[in-house]
Amino acid sequence: MKSRRVPQVTTLESLVDLYRDSPAFHQLSPNWKAYVVHVIDTVILPELGSKKVDAIRRGQLIQLLELTIARGETLANHTKRILTRIFNWAYDREFIENNPAMRLPFPARTVKRDRVLTDDEIASVWQACEDEGTVTHRLFQMVLATAQRPGELKLAKWEDIDGDFLILRKTKNGSTHRAYLGVEGLRIVEKLRGVGHVPRHSREYLFPAVRVDSEVGFLSNYNTAWGRMRRRLGLEDATCYDLRRTAATKVAQQGGSMDVVARILNHTPQNVTSIYQRYGYEKEVVIAVNAWHSRLQQLTSLPAVGG
C-alpha cells in the first residue's frame, strides 16, 4: 500500500508553506505570484492559518469568502481562485484526504467592465498627471498613450527602449511584446529622464521606485495615487486599468482594426487562422497609435507632432 504524506501537513499554514516551495507556485508569473503571497498573508492565514487542515470544512471557506467581500469583490473572487488552487494541488498530491474547496462558488458575481473615459475625463486625467508630475502619474499617462498594462510597464527598463518602441519582456501571456511609444510615449520617456533623487538600485528602471527603503527597484504601488486622483476628479468608478481600455477604444475609433488593436494590447490570438498568420501589423500599429496621439493632442491641448 502506497504511503501517504499527510503527517507532513498539520495546519493550513504548514500546507501553504509546502505550496510556496513547490514548482506549481514558482511557475506563476511574477506579478501574480506577488499577489498570491499578499492574499495568503493578509486574507487566508489570519483567519485559517492555525486550523488543522483536515478539520477545515467547505462552510468555513465560504464564510471566509463572504467576509472578504467587504474588502472588495475582486479580492474575494481572487481569494476563491487561490484557495481552490492550493487545495487542488494538495489533494492531487495526497497531502490531504478531503478537498473542502471542490466546486467552491465564487462569492461575488463577476461583471465584465466596459468603462471608457469620456473626452473630458481623458483631458482632466492627463492634466492632473501633468500637474503632479510624479513617476506614478507618468505611468498613468503612459498607459493612456500606449494602451499597455500598468503592471507590465512598471517593470520596463531603460535598456528596453528600442527607438520608438518599448520592449516589454514580462507580460501576461509570456511573450515578449514590442509596444509602440509614439510621440506622446516618447515625450513621457523624456520627462522620466529628468526624475531626480532616485535610489541607486532603481536607476535601471523606466518607472523607478522613489523611496530609498523600497525593496524593489521599480514602482511597486500605483493604486494609492490613482485612488487619490480619481476621487479629486470625481471618477470614483474608474480604475487605472480603464485607462488601457480607453486607449484601445480610442485607437479603434480613429480607424484601427480589431487585429491592430489586438496587436497593440498584446492579446493572444484565439482563432485557428492566427496559428498560421505571423504578420505583425507593425506598420498598421504605428499608423493607428499616431492617429490616437493626434486626437489626444487635440483633447489635452498638447503641441502637435513637430510643433
Cβ atoms within 10 Å, residue 124: 19
Average pLDDT (285-307) is 86
If you average pLDDT over every residue of the chain, what do you get? 88
Q: pLDDT tier at 305 (50, 70, 90 boundaries)?
A: low
pLDDT at position 62, please? Answer: 94
Residue 25 CA to its chain's centroid (Å): 18
Average pLDDT (98-124) is 87
Q: Is 115 left (phi over 0), alpha (psi -120 to 50) or beta?
A: beta
Using a pLDDT cut of 90, give the percent of the chain over it.
63
97 grid coordinates: 484526504
Mean pLDDT comparison of 54-58, 208-212, 232-236, 298-302, highest-scoring range: 54-58
Whether the per-residue pLDDT at 272 is higher than 50: the answer is: no
C-alpha span between 283 and 232 (Å, rounded) = 39
pLDDT at position 243, please? Answer: 96
In the chain, where the domains are located? 6-92, 119-300
pLDDT at position 108, please? Answer: 83
Instruction: Quickly list H helices, the chain.
Output: 12-20, 23-26, 30-39, 45-48, 58-68, 73-92, 119-132, 135-146, 150-153, 182-193, 223-233, 241-253, 258-265, 273-276, 282-300
Domain 6-92 annotated CATH 1.10.150.130: yes
- Judge whether 50 and 11 are in contact, CB under 8 Å: yes
pLDDT at position 112, please? Answer: 62
Q: pLDDT tier at 278 (50, 70, 90 boundaries)?
A: very low
Cβ atoms within 10 Å, residue 275: 8
Topology at the third CATH level for domain 119-300: hpI Integrase; Chain A (1.10.443)
pLDDT digits (tens, 9 = 90+) for 82-91: 999 999 999 9
Average pLDDT (106-128) is 86
Whether the per-residue pLDDT at 46 is higher than 80: the answer is: yes
C-alpha span between 61 and 98 (Å, rounded) = 14
Residue 280 CA to its chain's centroid (Å): 24
Average pLDDT (227-237) is 89
233 grid coordinates: 476628479
Whether the per-residue pLDDT at 256 is higher than 50: the answer is: yes
154 Cβ neighbours under 8 A, 6+ residues apart: 139, 205, 207, 218, 219, 220, 222
3-class SS at 153?
A: helix
- Judge whether 143 and 156 are in contact, CB under 8 Å: no
CA distances from 92 to 5, 21, 62 (A): 12, 16, 22
Q: pLDDT tier at 306 (50, 70, 90 boundaries)?
A: low
